[in-house]
C-alpha cells in the first residue's frame, strides 16, 4: 500500500533514507551495549558515532538525531522539525492511512468515528499526543509525540522494530520529515557507519523501554 504522506517523494530517496536510518539505529544499539558494559575504548567509538550523528543531521535537515546518555543506557532520540504536536499532527500524522484514535494524555481517548471527541482531544493536546493506527500490513501501531523545550522541536518516540518496517506510521513520519524538503545526496553515511562494526539484533528489553516511554507516570 502506497503512502499518501510520501507520495511526492522519490522511491529512491526513501530507500536511501531507510538504509541510513537502519545503519544509525544499528550503531546506536551497539553503542548502548558498549556504554552499559563500560568498555575501555567506549570514548573512541563515541567520537566516531557523534560524527555520524552530525553527518546525519546535515544530510537530512527536517529531522534531527541527538545522543542522550543516562546512568545505565544511551539513547538515540529523534526530533521532527515542528514547533508543537498539533502542527505535527495536522501536517503529517493525520495524513497516514489507518488513523484510528487519538489522546492528549493517553492512547485511545477518542476514536476517529467520534468526530467531536476526536477534535476535542486534538485541541486539548499541549506537549504530548498519543496516536493509534491500524493497517492490514502492520496491525495496530502507536505513535507518541512530545514537545522538547531544549530542542524546540517535537520528539518522536520510536520503537526499534516498528521504525524499521517501511509501511509503519513510525517510518513514514521519519521519512516525511527527513525528505520532504530535500536532502544532501553528497553525504554518504552508510559505509562510514559500518566501520563501527555494530549490527542490530532486537531483544525484549527494547519493548520494555518503549512502553515505559509511552506511560506518562512511569518512573514516578
pLDDT digits (tens, 9 = 90+) for 83-111: 999 999 999 999 999 999 999 999 999 99
**pLDDT, tens digit, for every residue of 36-89?**
887 777 888 888 899 999 999 999 999 999 999 888 889 999 999 999 999 999
Model pLDDT, residue 211: 47
What distance in Å separates the CA atoms of residue 132 and residue 1, rounded to the nearest whole number?
A: 18
In this predicted structure, the answer to whether residue 133 has a pLDDT above a threshold of 90 is: yes
**Structure confidence at residue 212 as a pLDDT band (50, 70, 90):** very low
Q: Number of H helices and number of E strands within the chain?
A: 7, 7
Domain ranges of the chain: 7-213
Q: Is residue 26 scored above 80 in pLDDT?
A: yes
**Contact between 94 and 145 (Cβ < 8 Å):** no
Q: What is the separation of C-alpha 21 from the centre of its chain, rounded to a whole number of angstroms?
A: 10
CA 139 – CA 90 distance, rounded (Å): 23
Separation between Cα atoms, residue 137 and residue 168, nearest integer Å:
8
* Alpha helix ranges (H) inside 151-196: 169-179, 190-194
Q: Would you say residue 189 has pLDDT above 90? A: no
Inter-CA distances, 86 with 1, 63, 122, Å = 26, 17, 7
- The rounded percent of the chain whose pLDDT value lies above 90 is 65
Contact 35, 74 (CB under 8 A): yes
Cell of 95: 495524513
Q: Is the pLDDT reported for residue 199 higher than 90? A: no
Mean predicted confidence (pLDDT) in 133-144: 88
Phi/psi for 64 (5° steps) reads: -135, 135
Tell me: pLDDT of 6 over 50.
yes
How far apart are the C-alpha atoms of 26 and 147, rounded to whole Å?
25
Amino acid at each position: 500500500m502506497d503512502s499518501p504522506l510520501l507520495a511526492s517523494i522519490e522511491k529512491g530517496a526513501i530507500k536511501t533514507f531507510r538504509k541510513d536510518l537502519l545503519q544509525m539505529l544499528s550503531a546506536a544499539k551497539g553503542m548502548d551495549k558498549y556504554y552499559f558494559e563500560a568498555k575501555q575504548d567506549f570514548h573512541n567509538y563515541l567520537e566516531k558515532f557523534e560524527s555520524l550523528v552530525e553527518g546525519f543531521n546535515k544530510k537530512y535537515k527536517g529531522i534531527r538525531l541527538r545522543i542522550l546518555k543516562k546512568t545505565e543506557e544511551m539513547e538515540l532520540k529523534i526530533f521532527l522539525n515542528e514547533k508543537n504536536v498539533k502542527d505535527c499532527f495536522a501536517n503529517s500524522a493525520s495524513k497516514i492511512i489507518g488513523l484510528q484514535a487519538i489522546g492528549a494524555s493517553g492512547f485511545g481517548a477518542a476514536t476517529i468515528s467520534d468526530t467531536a471527541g476526536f477534535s476535542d482531544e486534538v485541541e486539548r493536546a499541549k506537549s504530548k499526543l498519543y496516536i493509534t493506527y491500524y493497517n492490514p500490513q502492520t496491525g495496530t501501531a502507536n505513535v507518541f509525540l512530545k514537545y522538547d523545550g531544549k530542542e524546540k522541536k517535537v520528539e518522536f518516540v520510536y520503537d526499534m522494530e516498528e521504525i524499521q518496517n517501511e509501511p509503519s506510521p513510525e517510518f513514514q513520519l521519519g521519512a516525511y520529515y527527513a525528505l520532504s524538503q530535500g536532502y544532501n545526496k553528497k553525504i554518504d553515511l552508510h559505509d562510514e557507519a559500518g566501520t563501527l562494526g555494530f549490527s542490530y539484533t532486537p531483544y525484549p528489553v527494547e519493548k520494555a523501554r518503549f512502553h515505559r516511554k509511552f506511560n506518562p507516570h512511569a518512573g514516578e
